[in-house]
Structure 1
């Protein structure tokens, strides 16, 4: 019994001795981890100043900042690991990362996929911060491109976080890719209207409305004979941001309605003709008289 107690005491003493030996190294490693946090913030501030002076692209500036931040943390963790475990060599760390990369890859494949997609988006720059885009059912202004998501602010003032992998693999409509974009909408006039007169009125209206650009010039197309109207399509160009498009369209519609009223041009309602008949006299299911 005494031998067992002595063995336990010796084991405890060895553990305590080992803990005391590695305690300074662990404390040093924790201090390095804490300093790494401040070091990452400092390097990010320096990287921001450098990128603002040397890189014009806002997207590439973000990529540079994120890369600097991540590399600083990786360096701090590696140094802390080597200090905490003096027998650990850099080759051992790389080997450990290689063995664990498969398991980590399966566990965090969505995170890695979104991270890589975010890097590619920042490098290729299909769109930049402040662009207005549509991805699937979401449309708004790009506010930020993070490691995992792309943030857009919808026109209703809502924030939507879209995974970078979705953005990278989906068809994207970039509404502000060019300075101007075209608005098309349909106007119907009744069959008694002089089409050259209606077209001339529309062309004159578009020239006078503030916000409609003169180059490319507005166009009026006659497109269809409908049941109760002849349809024209009004095509004009404005600045590409959604607020400009929406406000100018309101001006155009208001001006067209007022001009048509002044010229007694009717924008017709749908017309339906209804016939009433005596079902007892006209019945498809009764045989003709005399049969």
Structure 2
């Protein structure tokens, strides 16, 4: 019993002695972590100033600042671990990180895929914050491009979070990529209408609509002979924002309708012609004798 107690006491003395010896290293590691906090603030501010001068994209500036902050903390934590545990070598840390990174990669492959896609989007800048885009079934204004998602605000006032991998691999229609955008407005007139007169009226009225740009000039095209009308296509350009396109189109429809009414040019309704005939007389299934009786009558 005495030997057992002495063994336990010796073990406790060794633990306490090793703990006392490691106190300076642990305190130093804690100090390193506190210094890392202030160092990360400095690095983050420095990265922000450099990125603002060299990069135009706000989202890319945010990404650079975030990466700099994370890298500073990783370096500080590793340095503190080496100080607190002197027996821990840098090679062991790298090997552990290598094995864990494989496991983390399999577990979070979707997150890494979106992160990589978001980084490429920020670098290539196919669209920017404030652009109006269409991705699949979603249409709206880009609010923010994060490392995982692209946030857009729909025209109905809803927020949609699109995974960056989906945005990167899908066809994206950037409606505000250029300063102006064309609208094609179909107009049908009656077959009795003088086409040169209708062309002159449409061309004159569309140029006077508020919001229609004069460069490029509006165009009036005859496109087809419809079932009940001859079809024109009024092509005009406006500013590329969705609200400008929508409001100008409303003005154009009102102006064209009023101008055609003033010129007594009708926009016809769809017309169908129906023919009635005696089915007994023209039936192919009647006997020939009965058919002759009908013909003699």
Distance 1:188 1:20 in 2: 94
Change beyond 3 A, Cα 1:6–1:178: same
Change beyond 3 A, Cα 1:274–1:16: farther
> What does the per-residue CA deviation read over 1:77-126, in whole Å, with 9 as the maximum and x for residues that have no partner?
32332233232233322222223332222112111111111111111111
Distance 1:193 1:79 in 2: 86
Change beyond 3 A, Cα 1:185–1:145: same
Question: What are the residue-to-residue correspondences of 1:12-161 with 2, within 5 Å?
Answer: 29=29, 36=36, 40-41=40-41, 43-161=43-161
* Aligned partners of 1:141 and 1:154 also within 8 Å: yes
Counterpart position of 1:193: 193
The two structures have a TM-score, normalised by structure 1, of 0.86
Counterpart position of 1:219: 219
Structure 2 gap segments, 5+ residues each = 292-297
Please state how far the C-alpha of 1:44 moved relative to its aligned partner: 3.0
Please state how far the C-alpha of 1:61 moved relative to its aligned partner: 2.0
The two structures have a TM-score, normalised by structure 2, of 0.85
Distance 1:76 1:182 in 2: 55
Change beyond 3 A, Cα 1:8–1:54: same
Please state how far the C-alpha of 1:267 moved relative to its aligned partner: 1.1
Q: How many residues align?
A: 291
2:216 match: secondary structure: coil
Please state how far the C-alpha of 1:13 moved relative to its aligned partner: 6.4
2:158 paired with 1:167: no
Please state how far the C-alpha of 1:202 moved relative to its aligned partner: 1.1
1:153 match: secondary structure: strand
Change beyond 3 A, Cα 1:240–1:110: same
242-251 or 60-69, which deviates more? 60-69
> What does the per-residue CA deviation read over 1:160-189, in whole Å, with 9 as the maximum and x for residues that have no partner?
111111111222111111111111121111
2:177 match: secondary structure: coil
Distance 2:25 2:188 in 1: 82
Please state how far the C-alpha of 1:211 moved relative to its aligned partner: 1.3
184-193 or 82-91, which deviates more? 82-91
> What does the per-residue CA deviation read over 1:202-223, in whole Å, with 9 as the maximum and x for residues that have no partner?
1111211121111111111111
Counterpart position of 1:267: 267
Distance 1:4 1:225 in 2: 108
Structure 1 gap segments, 5+ residues each = none
Change beyond 3 A, Cα 1:261–1:14: farther
Change beyond 3 A, Cα 1:84–1:286: farther
Distance 1:269 1:180 in 2: 33
* Aligned partners of 2:59 and 2:144 also within 8 Å: no
Please state how far the C-alpha of 1:197 moved relative to its aligned partner: 1.2
Distance 1:187 1:100 in 2: 65
Please state how far the C-alpha of 1:237 moved relative to its aligned partner: 0.8
252-261 or 17-26, which deviates more? 17-26
- RMSD of the alignment, in Å? 2.8
* Aligned partners of 1:59 and 1:125 also within 8 Å: no
